[in-house]
Chain A
Amino acid sequence: MQTNLEKLQTKKYLMFSIVGTYFVMLIANLSGHEITTLVTNLLYVPIPGALVILSIIVAKRFGIKGKHGRAWLFFVGLAVSWFIAEQIWLVYDLVYQIDPFPSMADFFYLAGYPFLFLFSIYYLKPLKDAISKKTLTYVSLAAIALLVPSLYMAYDTDSEISAFEFTLALIYPIADAIVLIPALIGLILFFRGEVNFLWSLICMAITLNVVADTGFLLTSMDGSYYMGHPIDMLFLWAYMLFSFGVYSHIQIFKRHRPNIKFQSLDDLR
């Protein structure tokens, strides 16, 4: 069972990690362009890597049976896809020193979205009765409100990019808008007090990731993006929120030694 002290400690570690990343990136940005590129790329190894390890632990605990089990299996798919994507990006950027967009990394980033969507559906299934049609409508409208300007930005970009790059730039906002719907539902349930903070961490992570993606699209279109841009901090924070969300589930659903339930048949009566 996760005690109040453990919950408090989890929140403390989360805050520490968020503030720590902020300072690491701030110092890197103050130390010059090369250091920023190196530090940011390297941060994408342990942070998404930790998420892969934690998601495998939680998926192993739940197994493949049951609704939660299936949800965590999809989550492993997401964590592994995005981890591979980050490492491909790192190799292109740091080793080959070529623009990683478009590359195989995009294939793995995009492969993560169906996993993320299926995970959120299974994750929110136990809460389905608390989701009204009104909430669903508002949330869908919010997703569309985010999608329209993002599509416009992607469409309005300079004509030098290839048709493939253009298609990729269109797919990301659409995928983001789709995963934003269950994430916002989770957040609304949290603000209504229907689920606790640690349950909602994963929904916060999805929302933050969507915000970061939109920011990435915006800064890439106006050419102001560079590796180590503050937008990268949002991506890293999203990974951290994901990790702490998964960690809280590992804490909640700890392995317990089975209690000896009944000594004799009479105990059943």
Chain B
Amino acid sequence: MFDATNEEISKALVTLAIEKTLINMGKPVLDEVTHRLFANYKCYIPDCHEHPEYLKNVLEELYGDCYNTIVESIKENLGELTTKKSIMNFLTVISE
């Protein structure tokens, strides 16, 4: 039996929300973000749950100050889960 903690569930949901947003823009966008995360920080999308600043920096590199629209889309994909503490922390950092 696979027992997931709340933290792991949050991590999976955040990963899904990020991936869904990026793939909606286009597969190469998801690939580029994944590539830059690994090249710059040696991390993957699931790690952005603990390090939202990495994702924020990569999106800023690609879209400039307009990355906020992507953050809004991630928020939309998370829906009512945005009130969960660990997800709120993620969104606070990424929206700063």
Our verdict on whether A and B bind, yes or no, reads yes
Residue numbers of A with Cβ under 8 A of B are 1, 61-63, 65-69, 125-130, 189, 193-196, 199, 252-256, 259, 261, 268-269
Docked-complex contact A66 and B25, CB < 8 angstroms = yes
Docked-complex contact B25 and A126, CB < 8 angstroms = yes
Docked-complex contact A193 and B64, CB < 8 angstroms = yes
Docked-complex contact A68 and B26, CB < 8 angstroms = yes
Docked-complex contact A1 and B39, CB < 8 angstroms = yes
What 1/0 mask marks residues of chain B from 58 to 78 whose CB sits below 8 Å from any chain A CB? 000011111011101000000
Inter-chain CA distance A129–B73, complex, in Å, is: 11
**B39 → A minimal CB distance (Å):** 6
Q: Which of B28, B31, B46, B66 contacts A126 (CB 8 A)?
A: B66
Docked-complex contact A61 and B28, CB < 8 angstroms = yes
Looking at chain B's contact residues, the main secondary structure is: helix
Inter-chain CA distance A255–B26, complex, in Å, is: 13
Size of interface on B: residues with Cβ below 8 Å to A: 26
Instruction: Find the A residue at minimum CB distance from B31.
Output: A256
Contacts of B16-67 to chain A: CB distance below 8 A = 23-29, 31-32, 34-36, 38-39, 44, 46, 62-66
Docked-complex contact A189 and B66, CB < 8 angstroms = yes
Known contacts A252-B32, A253-B31; A130 and B24 CB within 8 A of each other: no
Provide the residues of chain A in CB contact with B28, threshold 8 Å: 61-62, 68, 253, 255
Instruction: Find the A residue at minimum CB distance from B62.
Output: A252
Docked-complex contact A195 and B23, CB < 8 angstroms = no
Residue numbers of B with Cβ under 8 A of A are 8, 23-29, 31-32, 34-36, 38-39, 44, 46, 62-66, 68-70, 72
Docked-complex contact A68 and B29, CB < 8 angstroms = yes
Known contacts A1-B32, A259-B34; A62 and B62 CB within 8 A of each other: no
**B65 → A minimal CB distance (Å):** 4
Subset of 11 A-B contacts with CB under 8 Å: A65-B23, A68-B26, A125-B69, A126-B25, A130-B68, A195-B66, A253-B26, A253-B28, A256-B31, A256-B35, A259-B34
Provide the residues of chain A in CB contact with B25, threshold 8 Å: 66-68, 126
Inter-chain CA distance A63–B27, complex, in Å, is: 8
Instruction: Find the A residue at minimum CB distance from B29.
Output: A68
Instruction: Find the A residue at minimum CB distance from B70.
Output: A126
Provide the residues of chain B in CB contact with A254, threshold 8 Å: 32
Inter-chain CA distance A252–B70, complex, in Å, is: 17
**B5 → A minimal CB distance (Å):** 9
Docked-complex contact B26 and A63, CB < 8 angstroms = yes
Provide the residues of chain A in CB contact with B69, threshold 8 Å: 125-130
Inter-chain CA distance A1–B34, complex, in Å, is: 11
Docked-complex contact B32 and A66, CB < 8 angstroms = no
Provide the residues of chain A in CB contact with B64, threshold 8 Å: 193-196, 199
